[in-house]
């Protein structure tokens, strides 16, 4: 789409280190050099920074120590041999699809839901998953790219994968001999610290790391009864799918516990899903908004209205009926109303903010500022504190406003907290927020003076809410 440049790409000079065309080398490992060296020597690469042993697996909560001792780390060819599969291992067969995989024994549904959403966006897909890789003369080495806290990184791995009872311990390939998803998962486990460090999370975390784009979170159940909620949500979903966004959602915990019990509706509690499509159908003369959702397990589906076997499909046109496939693949339709009732959160992530107002032709200007809250200097606390004005301040002026477009959005503020530790489970998130004030035209004083003279009006304050999903 012309004019829809990624805002992240606007932050770099093309070719500079950390840009999409020149990602930084994670752990200083050079994929090209390592591959060439091992190919010349006729050896297979072994990654000492993420070794093929249980230190990289971590202490998985659902795997007792005696079973963990039985885990083997095997290369794909050996895995297929153990399984009695004569086909040769392939990296990706006939293009990447959301139907290629099903979740394994690691509680990373949030990550796999994001992969499912990623498969719809080919330009991002080839950025994250270089498709020129194969098992022919590959020297046991692969690489993947992620956007991590401000810059793209190239992550190198060997192709040893954790196996238990001759089957992949974690994400499995439905094609049997296809390995792009298990290898991608291993690369992400490496940047997280271990496979265990991928247990529980938000789909928006992975979507951000797949794009570096703008992420928005929408509450569903809590605000479903508000006026025009469904109308605005449908507009957001329609805009998001039209702007090549990655869309995911999640169900609430049951009894305040992060346990994946399956409700009588077929939905899994405390679980992340991907939204793969939206559509509008005519049901006996009335319009019905439908949302298509996918379970990263690759099975276990919604059983209510508009599910695969629902009689509702008998009341639509033959053309609309073709949208429903009666197969146990984890993907299903449900009405927007039921979607809002049974799901807790919706996450939309896009390379640019165009999905917010649906203006696909708009070209955004990106500005990145790095600051910090330092105790005794710039950590002023919330707006109710007398020291609030010592917080970092940024003044923004919008010079062009199209008043003919009623819902036109002119500015988007995204706040990101960089961790002190690379290891995901050791990262500590602090309560952070942003407050926006409107300054009268012509006033040039700083925030400190304006707060005392009450010359500014409060527009919005926002605090970060954290939820976790474990599948």
Question: Residues 185, 171: contact at Cβ < 8 Å?
Answer: yes
Q: Between the CA of residue 38 and those of 44, 74, 80, 143, 261, what are the distances in Å?
A: 6, 18, 23, 15, 46
What is the C-alpha to C-alpha distance for residues 448 and 443, in angstroms, rounded to an integer? 13
- Residue of 108, 260, 295, 352 marked active site: 295
The single-letter DSSP state of residue 27 is G
- Residues in CB range of 141: below 8 A, 6 or more apart: 31, 34, 35, 38, 44, 45, 156, 157, 158, 159
**Assigned token pair, 173:** 């390939």
Cβ-in-10-Å burial (0-12, 13-18, 19+) of 47 comes to buried
Neighbours of 222 (CB within 10 A): 11
Write down the residue that tokens 């992969």 correspond to. Answer: 115
| Cβ atoms of residues 203 and 248 within 8 Å | yes
Could you say which of 38, 54, 108, 109 is catalytic?
Answer: 109
Residue 74 is inside which H or E element, if any? Answer: strand 72-74
Looking at the DSSP bridge assignments, the partners of residue 273 are 249
From 143, 151, 271, 289, the catalytic residue: 271
How does DSSP classify residue 462? E
Length of the chain: 471
3-state per-residue secondary structure call for 309-327:
CCHHHHHCCHHHHCCCCCC
Catalytic (active site) residue 295:
yes
- Residue 324 CA to residue 333 CA, distance in Å, equals 8
- How far apart are alpha carbons 314 and 338 in whole angstroms? 19
Query: Is 271 noted as a catalytic residue in this protein?
Result: yes
Task: Identify whether 151 is a catalytic site residue.
Answer: no
CA–CA dist 234, 291 (Å, integer) = 9
What is the C-alpha to C-alpha distance for residues 194 and 181, in angstroms, rounded to an integer? Answer: 16
Count other Cβ atoms within 10 Å, centred on residue 360. Answer: 16
How many H helices and E strands in the chain? Answer: 12, 16
Q: Catalytic residue numbers?
A: 109, 271, 295
């Amino acid at each position: 789409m012309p004019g829809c440049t990624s805002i992240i790409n606007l932050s770099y000079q093309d070719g500079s280190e950390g840009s999409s065309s020149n990602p930084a080398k994670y752990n200083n490992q050079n994929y090209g050099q390592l591959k060439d060296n091992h190919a010349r020597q006729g050896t297979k690469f072994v990654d000492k920074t993420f070794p093929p042993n249980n230190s990289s697996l971590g202490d998985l909560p659902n795997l007792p120590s005696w079973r963990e001792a039985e885990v083997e780390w095997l290369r794909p060819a050996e895995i297929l041999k153990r399984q009695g599969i004569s086909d040769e291992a392939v990296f990706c067969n006939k293009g990447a699809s959301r139907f290629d995989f099903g979740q394994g024994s690691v509680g990373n549904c949030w990550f796999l839901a994001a992969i499912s959403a990623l498969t719809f966006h080919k330009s991002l897909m080839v950025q994250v998953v270089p498709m020129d890789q194969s098992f022919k003369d590959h020297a046991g080495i692969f690489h993947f790219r992620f956007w991590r806290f401000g810059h793209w990184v190239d992550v190198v791995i060997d192709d040893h994968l954790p196996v238990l009872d001759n089957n992949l311990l974690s994400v499995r390939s439905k094609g049997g001999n296809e390995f792009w998803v298990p290898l991608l998962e291993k690369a992400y486990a490496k940047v997280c610290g271990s496979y265990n460090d991928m247990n529980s999370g938000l789909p928006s975390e992975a979507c951000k790391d797949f794009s570096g784009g703008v992420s928005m979170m929408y509450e569903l159940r809590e605000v479903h009864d508000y006026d025009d909620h469904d109308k605005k949500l449908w507009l957001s979903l329609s805009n998001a799918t039209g702007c090549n966004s990655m869309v995911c959602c999640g169900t609430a915990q049951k009894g305040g516990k992060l346990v994946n019990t399956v409700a009588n509706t077929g939905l899994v509690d405390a679980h992340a899903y991907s939204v793969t499509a939206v559509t509008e159908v005519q049901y006996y003369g009335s319009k019905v908004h439908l949302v298509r959702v996918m379970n990263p397990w690759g099975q276990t589906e919604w059983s209510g209205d508009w599910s695969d076997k629902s009689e509702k499909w008998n009341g639509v046109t033959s053309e609309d009926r073709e949208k429903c496939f009666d197969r146990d693949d984890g993907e299903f339709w449900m009405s927007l109303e039921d979607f809002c009732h049974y799901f807790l959160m919706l996450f939309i992530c896009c390379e640019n903010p165009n999905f917010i107002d649906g203006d696909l032709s708009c070209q955004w200007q990106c500005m990145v500022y790095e600051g910090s809250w330092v105790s005794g200097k710039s950590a002023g606390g919330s707006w109710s504190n007398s020291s609030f004005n010592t917080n970092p301040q940024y003044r923004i002026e919008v010079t062009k406003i199209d008043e003919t477009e009623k819902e036109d959005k002119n500015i988007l503020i995204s706040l990101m907290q960089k961790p002190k530790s690379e290891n995901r489970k050791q990262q500590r998130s602090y309560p952070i927020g942003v407050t926006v004030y409107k300054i009268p035209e012509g006033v040039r004083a700083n925030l400190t003076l304006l707060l005392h003279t009450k010359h500014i009006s409060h527009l919005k304050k926002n605090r970060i809410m954290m939820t976790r999903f474990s599948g």
